[in-house]
A = this chain, B = another copy of it.
Amino acid sequence: MAYERPLISDLHAYAPGEQPADMSRVIKLNTNENPYPPAPEVMAAIHQVSADALRRYPSPSAAGFRGAAAALHGVHADQIIATNGGDELLRMLIQVFAEPGGVIGLSEPTYTLYAVLAASHGAGIAKVERGPGFELPADLAQKWNAAGARIGFVVNPHAPTGRFETPETLARVAREFQGVLVVDEAYVDFAPDSCLSLVRGLAALPNVILLRSMSKGYGLAGLRFGYGIGPSALVAAMHKVRDSYNCDALSQAAATAALQAQAYYLPLHGRVRAERDRLAGALRQRGWKVPDSHTNFILAEPPVDGNFSAFELYGALKLRRILVRYFKYPRLDDKLRITIGTPEQDDRLLAEIDDIVSGSTGAFQPFPSPHTDSRADLRALPGTNPPHPPKLP
């Protein structure tokens, strides 16, 4: 008999986008990292953390960071909880607000981690399909209520489509929903607005929690730092299940410095947005369908009358050491999710796509490796997903 719980034996773990060990040989447009590095102030803050500070336990609640976040967002520090990446916040939200045996509300398609976290908690899912344009259905809250959900998740701007719902739309969902509405704003730094108005000031709603992440907008995916913003009563409940010292001294210092470096980050977000729109336009010129995105990625559908399916392009690009994300899910398996890179990286992507489509066998292959079979080499990349070698034309 296994020692672990049957629920854990049966669990399918979340599969993150592949992270090749040797990044230098790969153009990585698959996990929505920022193409630009964090602010110099962030690196300085890290280097200023002394050996003596590392010797001691850090602030249990990341008090300094919470003060900085409260000042930036115009809320009280009691409304902030800092977490070891946004993923930890998601896990805590389910632990605090969803009963094992209950359900969480989702709007599909969505970030696949939600369902994994629910399953690992013993909770089910009330799935509501998004509309034809991936918009939120008008009866979302009613359907969640009917299923008995006590917590529901909406990622906005939406992954993996990039669509943006207005704060008014989310406020309506929150008012109609009987449980806690989590608005996952991991990509908000690239959007035209946010849902801050739902948690701030006199019009704040009692059941909305926003998720923020330093991974995308702040170029700090390696730091593992996220935070929640919400009513102090809900935030206090989450602090009760937080690991005693869940954010380390280095990440607290770095995240605080990042929040305070808006002068560096605001133009950087503008650059990513402009490049996003340029890449979307360039693909549309090539016959791809690319809906407007308000994130740092696009969900792009290659021409249906082309010679290459999305999956085949994913595989062909990977052989040329460009990683994009392919999802084998309904409504997504004919598209590629492409993270916005630097203009140089995106130009290379476009050139490789043109080269693949033109039938070349790889004259533009950027990283010739004469001493190895490049396909075997690529199969050995850790975390390769999907598991089978791509079908080649």
Q: Which residues of A contact B (CB under 8 A)?
A: 2-5, 8-9, 11, 13-14, 16-17, 19, 21, 23, 28, 31, 33-34, 36-38, 42-43, 46-47, 49, 51-60, 63, 84-85, 87-88, 91, 95-100, 113, 120, 122, 150, 179-180, 206-207, 215, 219-225, 233-234, 237, 239-241, 243-251, 254, 382-383
User: Does B223 lie within 8 Å of A54, measured CB to CB?
Assistant: yes
Main secondary structure of the interface of A (DSSP, over half): loop
Q: Please name all residues of chain B whose beta carbon is closer than 8 Å to the beta carbon of A84 when the two chains form the complex.
A: 84, 88, 224, 243, 246, 248
Q: Please name all residues of chain B whose beta carbon is closer than 8 Å to the beta carbon of A98 when the two chains form the complex.
A: 5
User: Does A222 lie within 8 Å of B19, measured CB to CB?
Assistant: no
Q: Please name all residues of chain B whose beta carbon is closer than 8 Å to the beta carbon of A14 when the two chains form the complex.
A: 244
Q: Please name all residues of chain B whose beta carbon is closer than 8 Å to the beta carbon of A113 when the two chains form the complex.
A: 244
Q: How far is the CA of A365 from the CA of B33 in the complex (A)?
A: 53
> In the complex, what residue of chain B is closest to A88 when comparing beta carbons?
B243
Q: How far is the CB of A223 from chain B (nearest CB, A)?
A: 5
**Total copies of the chain:** 2
Q: How far is the CB of A90 from chain B (nearest CB, A)?
A: 9
A53 in complex: contacting residue of B13, B28, B63, B222, CB < 8 Å: B222
Given A223-B249, A250-B223, are A122 and B95 neighbors across the interface (CB < 8 Å)?
no
Q: How far is the CA of A242 from the CA of B9 in the complex (A)?
A: 14
Can you list 16 A-B contacts (CB < 8 A)? A5-B96, A8-B96, A16-B60, A17-B57, A19-B57, A31-B57, A42-B54, A46-B250, A56-B221, A57-B222, A58-B221, A84-B84, A84-B224, A222-B248, A222-B250, A223-B248
Q: Please name all residues of chain B whose beta carbon is closer than 8 Å to the beta carbon of A17 when the two chains form the complex.
A: 57
Q: How far is the CA of A249 from the CA of B42 in the complex (A)?
A: 14
A221 in complex: contacting residue of B57, B91, B215, CB < 8 Å: B57
Q: Please name all residues of chain B whose beta carbon is closer than 8 Å to the beta carbon of A237 when the two chains form the complex.
A: 2-4, 8-9
> In the complex, what residue of chain B is closest to A23 when comparing beta carbons?
B56
A5 in complex: contacting residue of B33, B51, B97, B225, CB < 8 Å: B97
Given A96-B4, A120-B95, A241-B120, are A60 and B179 neighbors across the interface (CB < 8 Å)?
no
